[in-house]
Structure 1
Amino acid sequence: MSYYQLPRISNSDLSIAMHMLTGAPYEKPESAFRFGGVFHELLLEPEKFRTESCHGLDINLLYRMHRTVLSNHYCKALLEQSQKEKVILWQEPTTGIACKSKLDIIVNEESDRPLVVDFKTTSARSLSAFLQCCQMYHYDRQMAFYADSIGAKEVCLIGVSKQAKRLFFVQKYAASPFMEEGRRKYRYLLSRVKELDLFESIYYARQNNTVQEVSAAYHTTPNSNS
């Protein structure tokens, strides 16, 4: 069974849950999502990368962004001295829900201070703009979810700009306001998933790419929001 098929709750599943609970339109930017996926493969799993998977994408931009990352000594060291794309299966203690995470990079996993690193492709041209993206796309929730999956004390988000040859670093401790807010978000969503027993609906929406339809059906069901 692939990671995608595992019947556990991921951070992406929490995004599905959020749309089900709020009724907000599920507007997944497919082209940006696909670009980010291909870039992650090129950067973190180059042995799997195939140019055929880049059909319709700006391959020159992909390679330029890749070079920008590798030209940074800190990023290069991270890539050389870490575990990449590691699957973590864990149970969230406050709800007891079986969860899963797939972490871009874990540094010093065996130490008492592991570091979780996540790369994000972004259209931001400045650090302040990237920080706005962190709030807009709930990266605080994602990083708290990831950190708690292994008990990490620190996380680092690295934004790789599509618009400029720049990297944006957002490094946070596990107890920082950024992470505490993310933790509050993911625990609230998990508690609602458990309370309303949304597991099967989330798994169905994820596996069949029908988030909008499932969310709409949920909100037209009598007493669905009670």
Structure 2
Amino acid sequence: MKFKIKKIYLSWRKGKGSRRKIVGVIERTATNGITFKYLEDGVKAAQLEGFKEYNGFPIPHDFKKIYNENDLDIFSLRLIPFERKDNKHLLKFWEAEGIVNKFDLLALTQGLLPTDNFEFLGLFNPAPNFKFVTDIAGLTHLELEKDTIIKGDILRYDFEANPNAYLDKAVKVYKSELHVGYIKNIHNNIFVKLNRKLNRKLKLVVKEVEQNGIIKNIFVQVTS
């Protein structure tokens, strides 16, 4: 896995099926190290749906405050604990084997917890031999029947204009001609960039499906 990850966007939503709001950004630069700041437009939109703050990071009234690296250890609490018995299995699932840098791990694993609605979405840039795992958005509204999608399925995608999406393009995902959802905002960046700059497409293979009567989650491996 080779990446050029400079930014991780903090996403929040009210609940399953609600639109994600991009409320902050963690940035890594040679000059300033790792910093975090809230994004005014995203925060204000999220506050209309009940967003308060990310615990430990009060929202500044003017949105100018930048939290520095010394403040950011709290984000590492969302990483997969190394003492977990299934640590290696989980890192393999997220295509994060051998990754030790906390910033990169947070981007690859999304920092998902069952206790809140935050996600950490890496802004991935093209690099040789890269791959990552993402989960498909929009499933709640589609209500796909059980076993419509199975592990190992090869999916395809196309683009549609969407002013709410990163780079104004939504990435619509299909199994054959069946619409199965969208690539999440921010993660769609690399799809659009490769198409615009290099006229290249990525490969999508279903890695895991969570379902009962209907499909709840589809995790896909994205490779160059």
The alignment's TM-score, normalised by the length of structure 1, stands at 0.24
Select the structure that is richer in helix.
Answer: 1
Select the structure that is richer in strand.
Answer: 2
Structure showing greater relative contact order (alpha-carbon pairs closer than 8 Å, 6 or more residues apart)? 1
The alignment's TM-score, normalised by the length of structure 2, stands at 0.24
